[in-house]
Amino acid sequence: MGIGLLVYFLKPEPNSQTPQQQADKSVAEQHKPMTSNDSHEQNAQAKNNQSLENPASVKAKKTSDEALRYYKTAYKDGWESIVRDFENGTIANSKMTDAEKKKLCELALYGTNVEQTKRLFAVNCTPVTGKISFMSINTQLKDANGQVDQAEIIEKLKLLQDENILQTHGAYKLGPYEEKFNLQSDAVSRGLEEVSDYLLSIGIGYSGNTENLINSNLSGRNPSVSLVNKLLKAGISPNAATYTLLEERKIAMKNPELYQLLQQVKP
């Protein structure tokens, strides 16, 4: 497997954000402290989450009503009807601008399951940047029990690898500051242990991340004692920020086993 390098050059983002910007911000939010535009396109992007924000709550002057209707549909009902509209030519023949069509394609690729993604590929809705690899590790895909479908995420990463478009490493730059990360950062920060284990199995390890992955996990919505224990065994050590996060996130009350584990290894 070839290792791709995805580099974003960041600029401060505007105060008002369109529904696309709320969705497109996920990668930037995953890798604090930076949040802004990348070098490929004006930031239209969902650290956590990572799914479309409610499009009804934000309306941008430059976004057409038709595009907003599609975002609202995705938010409320999922992507299936939108995938069908790509397949039957409705979107191609719509009055949306080419930029809006490309953005809708991009967001659909982030949120669809493997079967839907393959259908989008078949009608030339394909990734234009490597962000799909990072954005595919999200909490939108759910199983029959309403839990994050980690098996489906893994299958989607396999699809991207088979298509030779899997990007595994990246970096953010802002002036002299550079933050490096890989796909483990996204998996660990979301507490997706099965996804993290899969990434290890294909050679994507914990190293290569500027941010301490223990802190990434504590900062996310699903701190995991099992995942943190694996990080500790791999040689990742807590730091002063770890113990600040323990208090700020009230881990002692919410996850006492995790709290005790980290207290036992406190420097």
Rg (CA), the chain: 19
Give the residue from 137, 118, 127, 130 showing the smallest Cα distance to 198: 137
* Nearest-10 Cα torsion for 6, 9, 14, 18: -20
The residues, any chain, with a CB within 8 Å of residue 77's CB and separated by 6 or more, are: none
- Name the least confident of 37-51, 111-125, 249-263: 37-51
Average pLDDT, integer, range 141-167? 95
Average pLDDT, integer, range 60-69? 84
Give the per-residue pLDDT at 172. Answer: 87
Highest mean pLDDT among 12-16, 74-78, 260-264: 260-264
Average pLDDT, integer, range 227-233? 98
Tokens 């393959």 label which residue?
Answer: 118
In this prediction, residue 52 has a pLDDT band, given cuts at 50, 70 and 90, of low
In this prediction, residue 259 has a pLDDT band, given cuts at 50, 70 and 90, of very high
- Rounded Cα gap, residues 34 and 14, in angstroms: 13
The tens digit of pLDDT for each residue in 235-255 reads 999 999 999 999 999 999 999
* Boundaries of every domain in the chain: 5-205, 212-267
Higher pLDDT, 45 or 216: 216
The tens digit of pLDDT for each residue in 206-217 reads 999 999 999 999
Reported pTM: 0.78
